[in-house]
Chain A
């Protein structure tokens, strides 16, 4: 049966058919739906781990424990998981293990444009990359055979457009593979120097064998269309190349990105007068070709860009000098950046921080949008968990603990905020941490986490209590307080008092995400235009429902959820 499937959904199908038993991941766009979909198969135990390092280690344990396993993450998540990643090449596995990582060329939903192919090379692990949904399924299955044959985890790389495109997939049956017997082998699995020294030779040996395999593997294919032009490409860039060049070029499509073949590439290059390398992000294939002495057209000669996403249009423009005619309006088109939703519980927090003129060390999540006008509340956003730890450093050199706060979401706090808070307490910091507890992992589309009381598979989980956690980390009880961020007065008082405190403090802003089914939706509020004096105070909270119409505020009833925040802003009680 053929089905139109999202790349990530097809990847999950491949995992299912490969007999995978265990999946542990942390959500991150564009990788999230792989794990959401494995959770739909009752044969696969699937879980959200608190972070990617834990997920990878759990998957390693499952594989060594004898069951085929998978962990999934976005590109920056692999940074968090890099420590166990490197050691897995040395220990090898027992049952197959695949590490899924989704890169985000063009940064649709990310803080950088890093290229995870470097990890495969650095950690000495094989890497596969599919180009469409059918390949997502096929490669996921094949990755396990590769993993078991060479006794190594395999990195399975996707990019946003492959993860989030739908195309046809032929469905197959699941292969039931029993759990392998466990045999203790400390020389292979206890990575202390004496053992690791020996294992390094094994790693180099199987890398050599993999390099041989790459020369003839089913993932690297050639399509010959004459000798004038050869394109070496991989993943979605193959799709763009096919659209731009059709049958006017030959293609070497690489599905195995590490190790890259040598003979195969040299042979392909020798048969074509001109070679172009088409790859997004870093010039990984290009550098490999240049090291082989092949003169290619690519990024390093400035023809193709280093930054951003590629497209058929880009290839046509840069390589073929072909620009299509198009029309556009004379009027400038205002941009439409994403905004906090109507009724978002974060809005009042950022409004208050802005009003109190506090500097804000921010973090990764929907609430990063608190940086955008008119709230403009956030000073810094780096990576998961950095809000607390980087503020600690800033305050150690500047003092000024009363002028700064860090703001972090519930899921991000559990991911990597805990250790930052321990550092504050341990090293005598007295910063204020605001935890936005909206009972869900919001930005990635509503995943459960250790604080929501529910697992990915819908089971009830122990309700971890943020107050208890912070208290046991050493934050004084009397300086841990929970507030409803919708109550602007209470919120302001709490923030003023805690930033002034001479000890570490935590404010938990507790209210569910406005998009959750459990969130209370009230009738839309309206503006009494006879009372409205047009002062624009209600506009300061940046709610997308409110606009000015003929010098009076107006609320769009079709999207207002009646949260009541704007009501508190109006000094003449025009809103109700």
Chain B
């Protein structure tokens, strides 16, 4: 398999570190060489946060360049738009429809772009957008949106469902195991249904 380049993007505090941990573990369990690059420090305070996960036969750089990413998993719509230039031709974006206004939008110094999904589709890009908040609410814990997104992305990741699900089980807090697995399964199911 050629190297897979995955980006997990969102807003500081949304749980991107957990998602990258899950993906990294699953790739490692598959026997791939893995590099995961995380963001700690200031951006975690509500800033734009990006995590890179790379796996394949031999991986050196922990960072993914413009035009080089296979799959962007996005927790927030504007962040999907921000990182769009990193997507390679033929890549796919799997995004939550959740919108969080950044401070410049709140203060009126900038506007939140309209119709992001439609405009990205208009560029010929494969973007799949889901209401992950309601999936999370349905399984009973609003904090599981990130795990639901991993389920939604499963088929694009080149890692089988069983391995990925086991990685979810190993990485989430054990007291919230069932609800996270439910969110993951709901994601897998919804992605298959579309």
Interface positions of A (Cβ within 8 A of B): 2, 4, 6, 29-30, 32-33, 108-109, 132, 161, 164-168, 236, 238-240, 242-243, 311-313, 316, 324-341, 366, 369, 372-374, 443-445, 539, 542, 544, 546-548, 556, 558-559
Contact = CB atoms under 8 A, between A and B. Distances in A.
B158 interface: no
Contacts of A332: 110, 113
B194 interface: no
Contacts of A243: 60-61
Contact of B123 (A32, A327, A546): A327
A239 B62 contact: yes
A326 B38 contact: no
A558 B85 CA distance: 30
Contacts of B84: 326-329
Contacts of B114: 331
A188 B93 CA distance: 63
Contact of A326 (B24, B47, B86, B101): B86
B47 A336 contact: yes
Nearest to B125: A327
Given A327-B84, A334-B104, A443-B42, 13 more contacts: A108-B43, A166-B21, A166-B24, A239-B61, A239-B62, A325-B89, A326-B84, A329-B123, A331-B114, A334-B78, A341-B45, A445-B40, A542-B107
B87 interface: yes
Nearest to A314: B65
A161 B85 CA distance: 21
A4 B42 CA distance: 24
Interface in B76-134: 78-79, 81-82, 84-89, 100-114, 116, 119-120, 123, 125, 133
21 contacts: A4-B34, A30-B41, A165-B35, A167-B34, A324-B88, A326-B67, A326-B85, A327-B84, A327-B123, A329-B120, A330-B119, A331-B81, A338-B42, A338-B46, A338-B47, A339-B103, A373-B109, A444-B41, A445-B41, A542-B107, A544-B106
Contacts of B175: none
A258 B28 CA distance: 34
Contacts of A312: 61, 63, 65
Contacts of A240: 60-61, 63
B25 interface: yes
Interface of B: 11-13, 21, 24-25, 28, 33-48, 59-63, 65-68, 78-79, 81-82, 84-89, 100-114, 116, 119-120, 123, 125, 133, 142
Contacts of A236: 61-62
B61 A336 contact: no
Given A339-B103, A366-B45, A334 B24 contact: no
A339 B33 CA distance: 36
Contacts of B100: 544, 556, 559
Contacts of B62: 161, 165, 167, 236, 239
Given A4-B28, A165-B62, A326-B86, A341 B42 contact: no
Contacts of B101: 544, 547
Nearest to B69: A326
For A166, A369, A443, the residue with the greatest tally of chain B CB atoms inside 10 Å of its CB is A166
B164 to A, nearest CB: 15
A335 B103 CA distance: 8
A330 B123 CA distance: 10
B36 A337 contact: no
B60 A166 contact: no
B46 A339 contact: yes
Contacts of A548: 108
Contacts of A337: 47, 102-104
B70 to A, nearest CB: 13
Closest 7 CB pairs of A and B: A109-B41, A324-B67, A29-B41, A334-B110, A313-B65, A338-B47, A336-B102
B65 A443 contact: no
Contact of A328 (B24, B34, B85, B106): B85
A331 B113 contact: yes
Nearest to A8: B40
A412 B146 CA distance: 34
Contacts of A164: 37-40
A132 B42 CA distance: 23
A545 to B, nearest CB: 9
Contacts of A443: 41-42, 45
Output the residue of A30, A311, A313, A329 with the most chain B CB within 10 A: A329
B153 to A, nearest CB: 19
Contacts of B142: 558
Given A4-B24, A166-B35, A341-B46, A333 B82 contact: yes
